[in-house]
Chain A
């Protein structure tokens, strides 16, 4: 689904991504893990076109990301902390995204219903709680049946009930053949959902493969220890 070749990103003299090669499978839940500052967000943003790479190339399907924008209609993105035009109502934001994506029918309203967002539709974004914003955020990301879902810390800020609703939805979409890229710090969640793990450290990919392969290669008992051992410099 996604092919990344020799991807480099520098912020001034600071190298964030150092020559990354990666091929992300279609129809899988891919977890990007790594400590803060390892380049997770930058990688996601490059795929979204928010950040311009210093070198290398990124393909989504057959399409090479350039400065165009149309390919993003295939992507559903749920940022870590969503922010919309503050004075718009929830309904208007949804209308706006529908309008901008030029998407007229076949909406996936699963999350809207399950999160009971109908009650919030008339409220302004600036009057919503953080958790509710996050629900709106998730609902919009899934609404347009995108082939690729990019979810940045999706469950952070959600209550346990909403969190499991979201996780169920993620699995459902994966089963429907969607490709999903997630970042998270919550390892239990990773164990629950991940098909593949991408381990990023200091701008390099230290591991890409299934969860079991990760534990196997690091010869550790569980995921937490496996990750700790990579960070301590274990060969992968």
Chain B
């Protein structure tokens, strides 16, 4: 009985709450509506109101929201910042912005002008908007429990200095960034001092610097994202406990370009990711206790670049297929573990048919060492002579790190 009555009370409250919301004021903006400008509607609104912006072109900037309101675009309204201003700032919790096109937030070297800026707020939702040619797209500072979802964010900047980030987070917590597509910004998604947030199913491509730039942001998860053709790939730095799963890193080309650059990362998980045709798949510098498992490294220049100060990392059950070089390292020792990986270059045998090769695989080739020390020799890649050198080194290992070895290489590609 008590249980039931509890339920009934809860139901009533819920109904009341929604009723309250529905009965909140509705302010229509548009040429043939009560409010001709967005600004006038916002200044007229109170907590709980819904502003409906009807289709049209609004040259408005420096809009400020200080009430808990909902801002909804109907028939694709466009708000234009005339390449000079910040467009919309939100200083109130629980604001929703949906279905609006924001364009031309101005480039500024003093202020971080953005299409939407959220400052010290909670429970805001930025959903299904379009952002075109803004300095910054969505900018969150000291925000928490917000959701950025289904937005399309693009810019056409040519220079890093004249370009801001697509989605920018600074000192935030518990943010969900999902289903956005970001292109042509400086960094697609930028995290600095962010905690416990989730980046999921975004598509970040052709950004000038990083598809994702991530610093001092512990305990975050990013999954199912796709990072493609970014100037320098993805950089994750100075962070503990991150989880990266089911992401795709594709075509990040250049001498300083990486599928992922990992710098000072500890106690993290990198699993089920797909690295295809990057100059370097993963670059690890000062990384400890990372589990790198079940990833596909396919046709990268270097699948892994493992710097000497990285220790106690585990590389398990990954596929290394058709990479120009599997691993490059500047160390003669090795304090990381490689096991059960599939290496397409492996040419050993499996007599007892347990699926594990009977002779160990050494993923660092002599030729790869030569290239590290003398770059122009790269031109001899895949030559008969380079193969002979590699073969000789395999038979009498002398220069390659003895302990960097997979003692249990898989015979077949792992699914």
A–B proximity contact (CB within 8 A): no
A residues sitting closer than 8 Å to B (CB atoms) are none
B residues sitting closer than 8 Å to A (CB atoms) are none
